[in-house]
Amino acid sequence: MSSLKINVVNKEGRVPVTVLQLIGQVDASTYTSLQEKAEEEKKEGADYMLLDMTEVGYMSSAGFKAMHSIYSMLGGITDGGKTPHLGLLNPTDEVSRIVKTLGFDSYINIYSDLDEAISAF
């Protein structure tokens, strides 16, 4: 059975950023735990989130559905550009390819360095 562990780390940049460190696989059996954790953090006041994908070896469309929900939940969206509220850190080559295939890279910033990501919010 798939498993997904989510650690929450709070970082301070120009704004407070909630980092969700994902460890495991994101598929139809686990994606709701990502959505629920993000909703929980939003209720606690999180307005800026970074999904740390370093330890995600596999993600299906269910993971992108969760990402889409988080993107919508955080708001601050314009039709023309990337959201200032959500970022991705270190997706694998294969996950990056799917991000691009689905066009999510036009709306969500992707970073390869944690400090760079935090300071960009």
Q: Which residues bind another protein (CB under 8 A)?
A: 1-2, 25, 27-29, 58, 60-62, 64-65, 68-69, 71-72, 77-80, 93-94, 97-98, 101-104, 106-108
Whole-number Å distance between alpha carbons of 59 and 82: 22
Kind of pairing, strands 109-111 and 49-59? unpaired
With respect to another protein, which residue has the nearer C-beta, 13 or 69?
69
Whole-number Å distance between alpha carbons of 111 and 19: 13
Closest distance of CB 44 from another protein, Å = 24
With respect to another protein, which residue has the nearer C-beta, 11 or 82?
82
Closest distance of CB 120 from another protein, Å = 19
Cα separations in angstroms, 50 against 1, 2, 23, 58, 63: 26, 22, 14, 18, 15
Closest distance of CB 67 from another protein, Å = 9
Closest distance of CB 107 from another protein, Å = 4
Helices marked H in 1-121:
31-43, 61-74, 93-101, 114-120
